[in-house]
A and B are shown apart, each in its own frame.
Chain A
Amino acid sequence: MAAVLKPVLLGLRDAPVHGSPSGPGAWNASKLGGIPDALPTVAAPRPVCQRCGQPLALVVQVYCPLEGSAFHRLLHVFACACPGCSTGGSRSWKVFRSQCLQVPEREAQDAQTQENSLAAEDWCEGADDWGSDTEEAPSPQLTLDFGNDASSAKDVDWTARLQDLRLQDAVLGAAHPVPPGEQTALSPGLPLFLPYYICVADEDEYMDFVNLDHAHSLLRDYQQREGIAMDQLLSQSLSNDGDEKYEKTVIKSGNQTFYKFMKRIAGCQEQILRYSWSGEPLFLTCPTSEVTELPACSQCGGRRIFEFQLMPALVSMLKSANLGLSVEFGTILVYTCEKSCWPQIIRPHGRILYYTRRPR
């Protein structure tokens, strides 16, 4: 066990998503299933499977801005739901990261309590640079305010102005990111899972939950039967010459790693996502060399670190409305670029490494 454990955030399934929300409320939210929402300056990813060529279905969308960073950051995880590819391994999965620079007028992100607390700290640091007060009246309706605020902002960096202009151009399109007509045309071809929001909780809240009532009742029965009390049990140890030894548990089915995994998630079995930036993943089975030797980031050549993993509970939660789609996995580990590199020229998306394991 590491001496200092990084804090882990758990994602739990929340309310279902109704309709098709648009605007910042859509891409600020983490959800599972549904249609991928895109950041205003970035096109929504529409990947296809490497094995069968079918379009991939969105598994999760995670909004996870980094601490001390001025970017909005969105991660999409796609998987192939075809029966042949559901056991295909990492080739049927794709992960995309998209980022865009934060504009201070977007006050509504402060209200995102369902995301990491990192986001709130991030805001305060960025506000000073722009010279605008974060206590100004937050406006939930943002779509039409961009144009006015961009012209009135002081000390605006050149890149930010460029961003603003693009935002302004994109606003007219972003107000209805997928026009209803286009959406219905997409859905027959695009596999979809029923969308739900993801709420975030701290792992520490669930760590100490173990129900010991039954064990206590069994102990009482044992004491009654044998006619000894707890203190007598302890004193036995002193008189014992130690022919019984401590034995390490050997589990005949499964392995020690899996047993530790089960123990760790026992407090909160319905967790679907574990987020721990540059933390340690919780392995399901013994990690192979593929995981221990990670390739470097393809954009900047930097190191890749663990960001989050998808848990097996998600498999039963991914249901589709009509087509009977399903994905199978043990756990998916997502490693991203350590520096979260993002080129100045806006590109649609950046690729990240993904990994999948499946137990029997």
Chain B
Amino acid sequence: MADDTNAAWGAKDKEWMPVTKLGRLVKDMKIKSLEEIYLFSLPIKESEIIDFCLGASLKNEVFKIMPVQKQTCTSQCTRFKAFVAIRDYNGHIGLGVKCSKEVATAICRAIILAKLSIVPVCRGYWGNKIGKPHIVPCKVTGHCNSVLVHLILMPRGTGIVSAPVPKKPLMMAGIDDCYTSARGCTATLGNFAKASFDAISKIYRYLTPDHWKETRTQAPAVATT
């Protein structure tokens, strides 16, 4: 599976000038990791924030380009829809979908959208806590329009049992063993991919027993303004 690292692209000769307060705090190294931003649910509006925090470990992958058509009064207007998934090997994954007249522009913009939609992924165990976490910690369901995707936890060694479309985001998230069940018009690739991504992003919303312990943290400056 060939994909390109983000670092090669990130070596721009232009310096990043932040537009938002969060961007300025990240650039001044007052916020050191994405987890601090996630903890306070601060909206990330600049993709350069992700570049700065995750940097060289980010990898992009185009997993589908498809032409879509729109009927105008004179003819049909063809545009290209690009699905780009982005991941780092440390439990973050993002999905971007963008339509544009040219393929390269669509890919470029989809990468930015993928970065803006990066979410953390939590993994757990099916049975005994031996070895590394390998599956979703609980059953989750994601949906996008008519498509429903259920992720069901399985013992180690099962592998990912699913259609090819959700297999990719699951593999990128680092989930090794999973059953999936899908419902709805799964032929619509966009909705199917987004539903599986939605399922993965719902994992952290579930309060598992290891999160029961109380933690106290200091809010960063931007959360209080």
Contact = CB atoms under 8 A, between A and B. Distances in A.
A237 B69 contact: yes
Nearest to A87: B225
B116 A215 contact: no
A316 B65 contact: no
A163 to B, nearest CB: 42
A247 B190 contact: yes
Interface string A195-234: 0000000000000001111111111011011000010011
A152 interface: no
Contact of B62 (A222, A242, A284): A222
Nearest to A210: B108
8 contacts: A242-B68, A246-B81, A249-B97, A249-B99, A253-B45, A330-B19, A359-B21, A359-B45
Given A219-B65, A237-B69, A360-B43, A247 B99 contact: yes
B208 interface: no
A244 B104 contact: no
Interface of B: 1-4, 8-9, 12, 14-22, 24, 27, 42-46, 60-62, 65-70, 78-81, 84, 97-99, 103-105, 107-109, 111, 113, 116-117, 185, 187-190, 222, 225
Given A212-B104, A316-B17, A360-B43, A217 B66 contact: no
A296 B156 CA distance: 72
A218 B4 contact: yes
A259 to B, nearest CB: 8
Contacts of B46: 262
Interface in A11-59: none
A358 B46 CA distance: 15
A213 B27 CA distance: 25
Contacts of B15: 269-270
B67 A233 contact: yes
Nearest to B63: A222
Given A244-B68, A359-B20, A360-B42, 5 more contacts: A211-B9, A218-B60, A247-B97, A269-B17, A360-B222
Nearest to B47: A262
Contacts of B19: 261-262, 265, 284, 312-313, 330, 359
Interface of A: 87, 210-219, 221-222, 224-225, 230, 233-234, 236-237, 240, 242-247, 249, 251-254, 258, 261-262, 265, 269-270, 284, 312-313, 315-316, 328, 330, 358-360
Contacts of B189: 244
Given A215-B107, A234-B67, A253-B116, A360 B17 contact: no
B1 A236 contact: no
B66 A236 contact: yes
B201 to A, nearest CB: 10
A96 to B, nearest CB: 27
A218 B62 contact: yes
Contacts of A358: 21
Nearest to A223: B65
B128 to A, nearest CB: 37
A254 to B, nearest CB: 4
Given A233-B65, A254-B45, A360 B9 contact: no
Nearest to B16: A269
Contacts of B116: 251-254
Contacts of B98: 249
Nearest to B27: A316
> Top 8 closest A-B pairs, CB basis?
A253-B43, A237-B67, A214-B9, A215-B107, A254-B45, A313-B17, A221-B2, A215-B104
Contacts of A215: 103-105, 107-108, 111
A253 B66 CA distance: 26
B20 A316 contact: no
Nearest to B77: A246
A271 to B, nearest CB: 9
Contacts of A218: 3-4, 60-62, 84, 107
A246 to B, nearest CB: 5
Nearest to A268: B14
Nearest to B103: A219
Contacts of B79: 246
Contact of A240 (B27, B67, B185): B67
Contact of A244 (B20, B81, B103): B81
Contacts of A211: 9, 12, 108
B220 to A, nearest CB: 12
B20 A221 contact: no
Contacts of A251: 113, 116
Report which residue of B70, B99, B111, B189 has the largest number of chain A beta carbons within 10 angstroms of its beta carbon: B99
Contacts of B17: 269-270, 312-313, 316
Nearest to B108: A215
